[in-house]
């Protein structure tokens, strides 16, 4: 009873009556997992989608049962699979879709530890297809099926490496640049014709299965934390932002890359990061405290 009361207080029914599709919930750490939970809490009915392998090996089924959300397996690079997701979702949820989350990313080059100046181009194609072109495929499929309601909201998750070089992010940086560009290009076409909104949210480093694949993730996470005046945004924070973007409160926000990073993207140097940096160079001072160069 008390639990239900707490849930009710937390929910503002921002998505009451809305239907959504959430791609990319693999396990409890996944950003998509948190978004799915919050969307249902806010009154939405949803379907979940992930690769057949992820559905078999991951814990997506648990989430589906908990949220009463049907799971439709799909490889997001396969247009026929995507068509099936939209058709089935409309049938199961009882009408056109109001919001879609693309929370998908994978780089075989990163997985195989290929450096940026030694990329395997077959793998690069896969990185771009899975992490960026799948977004285009998703939107084009939805548009052809006329599957999204007016002022529907489509969101994909990005990272600041799309715009500024970040060590270790490798070819995922190129994929994210393309992802953000697709949001603008398709945002124009879909907005003009059907008032459908398309945005990317550029999220702080977050400890998840995909995030942990990035070389030096722990240090990157720590650096971003020290640089951001209000700290890194967590997966739960990201879920809250996605809910606002799916809601009717943001009907005129489209074609944007929205930074959700505790202020990181506007910082040059923070006191906390500087303090940490100074500690790091202490060992290069001589006994009189003078910095030793070289
Ligand atoms: N974790 C971070 O630090 C961080 C920061 C900014 C942005 N992001 C982005 O957030 C999104 C979600 O990642 P996450 O951190 O929650 O990790 P995650 O590993 O939980 O999610 C990635 C998902 O992509 C799915 N996927 C991979 N290939 C697919 C395919 N061919 N078809 C369909 N699904 C496929 C995986 O099964 C998985 O569910 C990604 O786009 C990621 O780049 C993550």
Residue 188 backbone zone (phi > 0: left; psi -120 to 50: alpha; other: beta)? alpha
- Distance between start and end Cα atoms, the chain: 67
Domain count, the chain: 1
Q: Which atom of ligand 1 is found nearest the CA of 158?
A: 7
- Segments forming the whole domain that contains residue 153: 2-284
Predicted confidence band at 275 (pLDDT cuts at 50, 70, 90)? confident
pLDDT tens digits, 203-249? 999 988 888 777 788 889 999 999 999 999 999 999 999 999 999 99
Rounded to the nearest integer, the mean pLDDT of the chain is: 93
In a domain, 294, yes or no: no
Which of 22, 29, 31, 154, when mutated, tests ligand 1's pocket best, judged by the most ligand atoms within 8 Å of its CB? 31
In a domain, 42, yes or no: yes
Alpha-carbon 57 to chain mean position: 21
CA–CA separation, 202 and 248 (whole Å): 21
Gap from CA of 29 to ligand 1 centroid (Å): 10
Q: Quick check: 32 and 24 in contact, CB under 8 A?
A: yes
In a domain, 293, yes or no: no
Q: Which atom of ligand 1 is found nearest the CA of 212?
A: 1
Gap from CA of 158 to ligand 1 centroid (Å): 10
- Which residues, including other chains, have CB under 8 Å from residue 61's CB and lie 6 or more apart? 55, 71
User: Residue 281 has what pLDDT?
Assistant: 62
Helix (H) and strand (E) counts in the chain = 13, 6
In a domain, 290, yes or no: no
Token pair of 221 as six digits: 């996470």
In a domain, 244, yes or no: yes
CATH number at residue 11: 3.40.50.720
pLDDT tens digits, 91-133? 999 999 999 999 999 999 999 999 999 999 999 999 999 999 9
Which of 56, 131, 166, 211, when mutated, tests ligand 1's pocket best, judged by the most ligand atoms within 8 Å of its CB? 211
């Amino acid at each position: 009873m008390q639990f239900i009361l707490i849930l009710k207080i937390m929910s503002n029914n921002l998505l009451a009556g809305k239907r959504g599709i959430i791609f990319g919930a693999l396990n409890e750490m996944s950003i998509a997992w948190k978004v799915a939970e919050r969307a249902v809490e806010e009154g939405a009915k949803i379907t979940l989608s992930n690769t057949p392998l992820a559905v078999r090996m991951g814990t997506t089924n648990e989430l589906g049962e908990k949220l009463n959300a049907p799971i439709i397996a799909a490889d997001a690079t396969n247009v026929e699979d995507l068509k099936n997701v939209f058709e089935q979702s409309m049938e199961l949820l009882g009408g056109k879709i109001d919001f879609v989350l693309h929370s998908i990313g994978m780089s075989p080059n990163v997985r195989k530890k290929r450096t940026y100046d030694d990329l395997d181009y077959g793998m690069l194609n896969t990185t771009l297809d899975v992490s960026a072109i799948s977004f285009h495929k998703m939107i084009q499929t939805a548009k052809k099926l006329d599957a999204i309601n007016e002022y529907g909201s489509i969101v994909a998750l990005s990272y600041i490496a799309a715009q500024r070089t970040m060590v270790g992010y490798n070819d995922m940086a190129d994929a994210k640049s393309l992802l953000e560009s697709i949001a603008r290009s398709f945002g124009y076409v879909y907005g003009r014709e059907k008032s459908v909104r398309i945005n990317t949210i550029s999220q702080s480093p977050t400890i998840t299965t995909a995030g942990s694949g990035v070389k030096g993730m722990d240090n990157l996470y720590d650096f971003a934390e020290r640089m951001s005046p209000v700290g890194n945004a967590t997966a739960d924070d990201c879920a809250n932002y996605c809910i606002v973007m799916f809601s009717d409160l943001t009907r005129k926000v489209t074609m944007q890359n929205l930074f959700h990073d505790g202020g990181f993207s506007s910082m040059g140097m923070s006191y906390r990061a500087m303090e940490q940096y100074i500690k790091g160079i202490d060992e290069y001072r001589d006994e009189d405290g003078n910095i030793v160069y070289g």
